[in-house]
Structure 1
Amino acid sequence: MKRKICELLLIIVFYVLQCTAGRVLAIGGISPNFLIIIPVLFGFLNGKTEGIYTGFVCGIIYDLFSYSIIGLSSIAMMFIGYFAGCFYQKYEEKEFLMPIAMVGAGDFIYGFLSYVVNFLLHNKLDVLYYLKRFIMPEVVYTVIVTIAIYRIIVFLNRHFEGKERKRAIEYDQGNI
């Protein structure tokens, strides 16, 4: 339960970062997508269920506070967290490249889905312009931010995992 509360607090902190520091750090009007980092990394580090949970919460928070279509971001981030969770236990957390590449791929998919729903369905068909001007710069910027904070999230995950394991051992000892 403590883990879920701490994850929720981390999601809220990342949302506040996206709304405040993201605008300050914007380069050419492009800011990193902090909220896509959490479902991908937690899915990669803890499995599909954790990726789905964090993706849903990140998406709902994003939808409620900044989007007009409620549910689009939550569904997209849930799927992205799920697919990141498919690589759970196939790679170690020391391997740096795979989770970073998954964050880039997840941000690309999320940006493209946003383009389809918000622009393509409204007859704005310049895909290459949107790809070059918005999606790819955001992907690069999000990957750079992920490189900077990856070790912190791995440390927090290991800290929560250690406490859960310790609590499970203490609970098991009474049932001998």
Structure 2
Amino acid sequence: GGYGVAPFYVREELLERIGTDRFGSLNIAEELGQHRFRVYDDARKYGYATMGFGSVFQLRAALDYLLRVGVPNIEAHTVSLAQQLNTGLVGQGHDVWTPKDNRSPIVTFRHHRDITLVRSTLEEAGIRISFKAEGEELRAGIALFNNSDDIDKLLEVTANWA
């Protein structure tokens, strides 16, 4: 979703325990007079203001897309790519912090090179990656939209650091 979307989930059996901290025209079930109100006792009690409908529709489309692709398919795809990256980095001699058989699409490794050089090399290649530990570690987060070519491209760059 876009700006202003903050999904909020509460199990139905906890609705009574988790109160609201504000009032608005959309969560009031009844006006009792003298600035007193009764809010809805269901999930509507959390929706006190008008939603950013455009952003909500974006979020809905994104969630529908993820459901169509399927969470198990996304996991299989991203974990496979992460394992490809992990194997390639280990083969290049990098210190890979992520265990080889990890079921996460995240791979963290140390590069042991000048941080300025590493940053500029990645930028020139059009690769976006997270710098951690004051830039000494890199964290690659593999996503649904990545493919094997993306991993190969990153490994081409990291081969020059090994």
TM-score using structure 2 length: 0.23
Greater relative contact order structure (CA < 8 Å, 6+ sep):
1
Richer in strand (by share): 2
TM-score using structure 1 length: 0.22
Query: Rg bigger for which structure?
Result: 2
